[in-house]
Structure 1
Amino acid sequence: MGSDSDLNIMQAAAEMLQHFNIPFELTVVSAHRTPLRMVDYATGARARGLQVIIAGAGGAAHLPGMVAAITSLPVIGVPIKSSNSIDGWDSVLSILQMPNGVPVATVALNAAKNAGILAAQIIGSTDQTVAAAMDAYKAQLNNEVNEKVNRLKQDWNNGFDQ
């Protein structure tokens, strides 16, 4: 993440990675304040065993794109609505509008949970244990919705206005 103030958002990605038993690093790397640290972090990521990088940033939000420019690992960008943001659009567009050749998978504003899930799906494409956990997670989502459908049917049949 670009700043420790992003932790309250980025924590959701960490929680999803923990849910899928995927080891991860959680740190602050600023594209603007610590550019050399960013270069070292991104260029050494594969050697440290990382398979995907999730980069969250607000405002100008250059971190995901700059990291994607210097690593061949997939990068998932999480635009964060910061205190100096223009309703988060500055962050979204900074991450989304990357030039051809430097893709960044971009999730919705503040959607670090989805970034964690997407990272797990990417890793699960070659790791059967993670794939099985992802299948179970998707089945759980399906079951939760079906339970809500059944509750709604039951409530409707019993009459809402009783």
Structure 2
Amino acid sequence: MIKVGIIMGSKSDLPVMQDAANVLKELGVDFELTVVSAHRTPDRMFAYARGAAERGLKVIIAGAGGAAHLPGMVASLTHLPVIGVPIKSSNSIDGWDSVLSILQMPNGIPVATVALNAAKNAGILAAQIISTADDAIVQNLISYKNSLREKVEESAEEMKRDGLFTGF
């Protein structure tokens, strides 16, 4: 059953949003991925957000650049948690417009916001939310986090062997 919806305002956002899909796949979380523009296809956005829970979604990841209204508008239309991914786009003010548009939601319409272009973190956060009711995802997350730790420890040992590391 599909548990996470990944949406973006434009296909040009796919190189960023693909990171969310990749990490969800790695963690064993089913997802759907599509383009839904708050400004160009508002009817599609309304239908997507209002039908998300009925389709079995548990979390929505919404990426948007520029004015970045998609995450907030979707959050206003559903009871599901929404994770916003601000995207530095061609019409962006160095990404800050997107960050602030997603971050500064009014009380009552929360949107969890990750760093600029950090769709991978949005995918991990979505998996963590779903893991509260799915033990298999818990185990996948534990393995994933352990692999991150192991990579750091291997790097530290490598630097030590190469004489580049003189600390702890």
TM over 0.5: yes
In structure 2, do the counterparts of structure 1 residues 27 and 153 end up closer, same or farther at CA, with 3 Å as the change threshold? same
Given residue 114 of structure 2, which amino acid in structure 1 is its aligned partner?
V
For structure 1, the residue ranges without an aligned partner over 5 or more in a row are none
1:124 CA displacement: 0.8
1:9 corresponds to which of 16, 21, 25: 16
Query: Corresponding residue for 1:152?
Result: 159
Counterparts of 1:76 and 1:141 in 2: how far apart (Å)?
Answer: 22
CA RMSD, Structure 1 to Structure 2 (Å) = 1.4
Q: Secondary structure at the match of 2:34?
A: coil
Q: Secondary structure at the match of 1:99?
A: coil
The structure where strand makes up a greater share of residues is: 2
Given residue 2 of structure 1, which amino acid in structure 2 is its aligned partner?
G
Counterparts of 2:160 and 2:66 in 1: how far apart (Å)?
Answer: 45
Of all paired residues, the percent bearing the same amino acid is: 68
Query: Corresponding residue for 1:70?
Result: 77
**Aligned pairs, number:** 159
1:51 corresponds to which of 29, 41, 58: 58
**Which of structures 1 and 2 has the bigger CA Rg?**
1
1:158 CA displacement: 9.9
1:155 CA displacement: 1.5
CA-to-partner distance for each residue in 1:127-154, whole Å, 9 max, x for gaps?
1000100000000101110111111111
Following superposition of structure 1 onto structure 2, how do residues 1-162 of structure 1 map, counting pairs within 5 Å?
1-156=8-163
TM-score computed with the length of structure 2 as normaliser: 0.92
Question: Once superposed, which parts of structure 1, at least 4 consecutive aligned residues long, lie more than 6 Å away?
Answer: none
CA-to-partner distance for each residue in 1:68-125, whole Å, 9 max, x for gaps?
0110100000000010110000000000000111110000000111111111111111
Counterparts of 1:108 and 1:157 in 2: how far apart (Å)?
Answer: 31
